[in-house]
Structure 1
Amino acid sequence: MFWWMYFSTAAEGFTNKPLILWLQGGPGGSSTGFGNFKEIGPLDINLKPRNTTWLSSASLLFIDNPVGTGYSYVTSDDAYTTNVDEIASDLLAVMKAFLAQLPQFSKVPFYIFSESYGGKMAASFSEVLYKAIQDGSVKCNFKGFAMGDSWISPVDSVLTWGPYLYATSLVDRGGLAAINAAAMATKQAVDAGQFDKATQLWSDTENIIEKYTHGVNMYNILKWGPSAKLQIKHQSAIESLYDRHVSKLYDDKLSELMNGVIRKKLGIIPSDVIWGAQSGKVFEKQAGDFMKPVIDTVDRMLEKDDIKVVVYSGQLDLIVDTLGTEEWVQRLHWPGLSHYNAATRHEIVGNVTNKNVAFVKSYKNFYFYWVLDAGHMVGVSQSCQIIGVMLRYGCL
């Protein structure tokens, strides 16, 4: 498994700033590629410095995860993970190796940030890491995790697609009825524990959305145009989902960069390993786990008063819309939920624009951020705002 780290550029030194791990979604999306060069790393895809960087506030760690993603690779089919428990176990192994190599980070405050399916991984990894710290098998100053537009309860996302599209005038009543019917069939499969079937029905629901909206972008409802690959007939559900949600993370320009100048600069990638070549297999192997929720995992982590649990959601995201995210939050058994619901939601004004960029509501160790003018990839559209906001409101 491959990891990549940047030291914080803060004047007071990296040991006085937190370490943030970034987990990409997919599953199969490369953190060291997409998250690094297209979202929050110090250089963009043209290797030009970004105007703002998280490195002024934290050190950044990217892991190509699950194994088979990005530069991480397998030499045996049974090494692929099939569920988030296996993913969390692998991440713990990497974290132990990282801290053994750079022990100065064992005392630095450590946070996990994530996006999409990465949020599901982050919740599971957080629980495993916390237990390892408690039993003394790893020394880490773990402080909290943030789930950005995260696939925590997939069925809640699916069930709210229709109402969200209808409320934003992207479908009429006929479209709403068709999407709701497909979503309910997906829910029935989940309730019956038929998770492979639920994955198929999830794919069917997305196809119906594409038909009735004439190509709304699942990651930002203000963008349009279905992928050309999705026009290929006779695709399986897994192939269709992979093309829609993962393959685009390996676009030609990024692949050329990672398999060209970056690969040469690193000088450690085995000659037979191609960045992203195994990502389709990664996605396929997780298929039976796609529609399983991890709400209970979030619940258990909220019981740890010393761990901050953060949810942030982009206003324009469809695939993991805010409506669905709020639905699963309301199903938490956490005793503080009623107090959170009664708390006041606060406006957040951006440092750069001096305009409202988000809202936040919190109680004890739980924080929920509504991020305005942002789609699924909040790190792309509001990257400079997010970390500053969380610093100001006590998450870091």
Structure 2
Amino acid sequence: MSVTSLVLFHVLLCITCIQGRMGIGGTEQDWGYITVRPNAHMFWWLYYTTYNNVSNYTDRPLIIWLQGGPGMASSGYGNFVEVGPLDPLFEKRQGSFVDDFNVLFVDNPVGVGYSFTSDNETKLVTNGDEIGEDLYNFFKEFITMRHPEFKTVPMYVFGESYGGKMATEFVYKLTKKEKSSKGKLCNLKGLALGDAYISPLDYLNHYAPLALNLGLVDKRGFTRIDELAKQIQVLINKKEFKKASDIENVITDLLAFETFGFDLNNFLAKMNSTKLPKVWDYMNLLENVMNNKVKEALNIELNVTWKFFENDLYDSLKGDLIKSVTHKVEALLNNTDVKIIVYNGILDFLVNTAGTIAWLDNLNWEGRERWLNTSQTPLVVDEVTEGYFKRVDNLVFYAVLRAGHSVPIDNLPVVNEILQLELLD
């Protein structure tokens, strides 16, 4: 048997072994692999809701969670650090999404987490359209062959950080294919974008003034950052996207240097010039957990190493990182009934709230004038102001207080309040 044949044999064996429900931490779940193109296998992990006041789990919506990076895996970070039923120490999480919803974590794109290619020739994705195609192929198999009971269940696609771009690509691809085939594959209700890197230039253009206004840099630092952001605009106009991404990295490095270790993900985090941002505190713990206890529990016998961040995938997408997908958000607003739910932690510098407001205000859609003339409303939870929101038709935006780049980590109760308001309306 050839090496390739042996690998594929083990793939099929693994898929056969790990199908079916079992409990980890008392939660009923299912997981497996779906081949999205030749030799490209995407891992998924489904948690059935623990909500008790329904006769069947299909009475509650399905959330699909996509992680960012690009290069981070939903199976680990989104699941164990943010919204899954257990934390990385296998303690029960209070306020898990699973308490109220069915949650599907997908290791996307292929090459991230437990997802893998079974030969050396199969390429990683290089752009958003390829990401959307792979996710569509994954979901079509999932909903028609693996879990058809979810076909009529309300479905919401969540994407965090760069995962927001990928979620947008997926939903856009899904709605286009449904329209061309004149048939509905599922009951898609909404797209949720959490601190999503939808329009990179809008965020980058706010780095210099935001840093200056927060007292993080002086006028000299402001000028250096602002000039670099203007260089990115020039490179984007020339369609030199890889060079633009290189300058983006220069800006974030410069910010770290100028601020002696400022955490771009949450500017209230305690930092110094030698410490990595807080998000990296989870790396060793998660890699140990995912490559040992979790891998054993899921019976994944493949030669797959779960990594906290997959650099090869990040490099493969380098020419796409700086591109905006706001035109696809516009298409969804103008041509579909999909609800667009945007939320942003106000302590996030990397994907700053000012940048999110900028691309939202500049969307070209039927409701634009009403959006610009609509005032925000306070979001009050248990008599505490937890943020602000505004809504016009199928677009809603939440600015969340006391939260940075990963809103569920910093203020999970408020995210759950948003879910109650938007997914169960």
TM-score of the superposed pair, with normalisation by structure 1 = 0.91
Q: Which residue of 2 aligns with 1:115?
A: 160
* 2:315 counterpart residue number: 284
Query: 2:292 aligns to what SS in structure 1?
Result: helix
Distance 1:125 1:322 in 2: 24
* Partner in structure 1 of residue 393 of structure 2: 364
Q: C-alpha distance in 2, partners of 1:226/1:156?
A: 27
Q: Is the counterpart of residue 331 in structure 1 residue 362 in structure 2?
A: yes
**Alignment partner, residue 182 of structure 1:** 228
Give the one of 174, 196, 205 matched to 1:129: 174
Q: Percent identical across equivalent pairs?
A: 35
Q: Which has the larger radius of gyration?
A: 2
Kept in 1, the 8 Å contact 2:287–2:308? The answer is no
1:30 matches 2:30 = no
Give the whole-Å Cα distance in 1 for the aligned partners of 2:356 and 2:301: 38
Structure 1 window deviating more from structure 2 (101-110 vs 53-62): it is: 53-62
Out of 69, 75, 86, which is 2:112 matched to?
69
Larger mean Cα displacement after TM superposition, 52-61 or 65-74 = 52-61
Shift of 1:249: 7.9
Among 191, 196, 208, the residue aligned to 1:162:
208
Task: Report the residue type matching 1:82 in the other structure.
Answer: T
Q: Which amino acid aligns with 1:53?
A: S
Q: CA deviation at 1:268?
A: 2.8
Question: Which residue of structure 1 aligns with residue 420 of structure 2?
Answer: 391
Q: Secondary structure at the match of 2:313?
A: helix
Question: Structure 1 residues 8, 394: closer, same or farther in 2, change over 3 A?
Answer: closer
Secondary structure of the residue aligned to 1:146 is: strand
- Which stretch shows the higher mean deviation, 384-393 or 119-128? 384-393
CA distance in 1, matches of 2:240, 2:108: 26
Segment drifting more, 9-18 vs 252-261: 9-18
SS in 2 for 1:221: coil
Q: Which letter does structure 1 place at the counterpart of 2:266?
A: N
Shift of the alpha carbon at 1:95? 0.7
1:240 corresponding residue in structure 2: none
Pair 1:194–1:92, CA change in 2 (3 A): same
Which secondary structure state, in structure 2, belongs to the residue aligned with residue 217 of structure 1? coil
How far the C-alpha of 1:287 sits from its partner, in A, is 0.4
Tell me, yes or no, if the aligned pair for 2:361 and 2:371 is still in contact at 8 Å: no
Matched, 1:268 2:300: yes
Residue in structure 1 matched with residue 86 of structure 2 by the alignment: 43
1:1-396 equivalent positions in 2, closer than 5 A? 1-11=42-52, 12=54, 13-74=56-117, 75-99=119-143, 100-134=145-179, 135-136=181-182, 139-225=185-271, 248=280, 251-270=283-302, 272-276=303-307, 279-351=310-382, 354-393=383-422
2:394 alignment partner AA? N
Shift of 1:137: 6.3
**CA deviation after TM superposition for structure 1 residue 115, in Å:** 0.5
Query: Cα–Cα, structure 1 residues 3 and 201, in superposed 2: closer, same or farther, change >3 Å?
Result: same
- Please, what is the CA RMSD of the aligned residues? 2.0
- Helix, strand or coil for the counterpart of 1:382? helix
* Structure 1 position 245, deviation (Å): 11
Q: CA deviation at 1:117?
A: 0.3
Deviation, 1:229, is 9.0
* Cα shift readout 1:156-211 (whole Å, capped 9, x = no counterpart): 11110111111111112222111111111112111221101101110111111112
SS in 2 for 1:347: strand
Runs of 4+ in 1 over 4 A off after TM superposition: 226-230, 393-396
Change (3 A) 1:278 1:65: same
- d(CA) in 1 for partners of 2:259, 2:423: 40
- Cα 1:360/1:103, change in 2 over 3 Å: same
CA change 1:282–1:56 in 2 (3 A) is same
**1:123 counterpart letter in structure 2:** T
CA distance in 1, matches of 2:213, 2:248: 21
SS across alignment from 2:287 = helix
Distance in 2 of aligned mates of 1:127 and 1:275: 29
Distance in structure 2 (CA, Å) of the matches to 1:177 and 1:273: 46
C-alpha change, 1:227 and 1:35, in structure 2 (3 Å) is: farther
Shift of residue 274, structure 1, vs aligned partner = 0.7
C-alpha distance in 2, partners of 1:41/1:227?
32
Instruction: Give the secondary-structure state (helix, strand or coil) at the position aligned to 2:335.
Output: coil
Q: What secondary structure sits across from 1:288 in the alignment? A: coil
Deviation, 1:387, is: 2.8
| Deviation (angstroms), 1:14 | 1.5
Structure 2 CA distance for partners of 1:249 and 1:119, relative to 1, 3 Å: farther
> Could you list the runs of 5+ residues in structure 1 that have no partner in the other structure?
231-243
Question: What one-letter code is carried by the residue in structure 1 that aligns with 2:347?
Answer: L
Tell me how far 1:226 sits from its aligned partner: 6.3
- Please report how far the alpha carbon of residue 278 of structure 1 lies from its aligned counterpart in structure 2 after TM superposition: 7.9
CA distance in 1, matches of 2:413, 2:290: 24
Contact 2:257 2:273 in 1 (8 A): no
Q: Answer yes or no: is the 8 Å Cα contact 1:308–1:395 preserved in 2.
A: no
Distance 1:88 1:225, change over 3 A: same
1:195–1:292 Cα contact (<8 Å) kept: yes
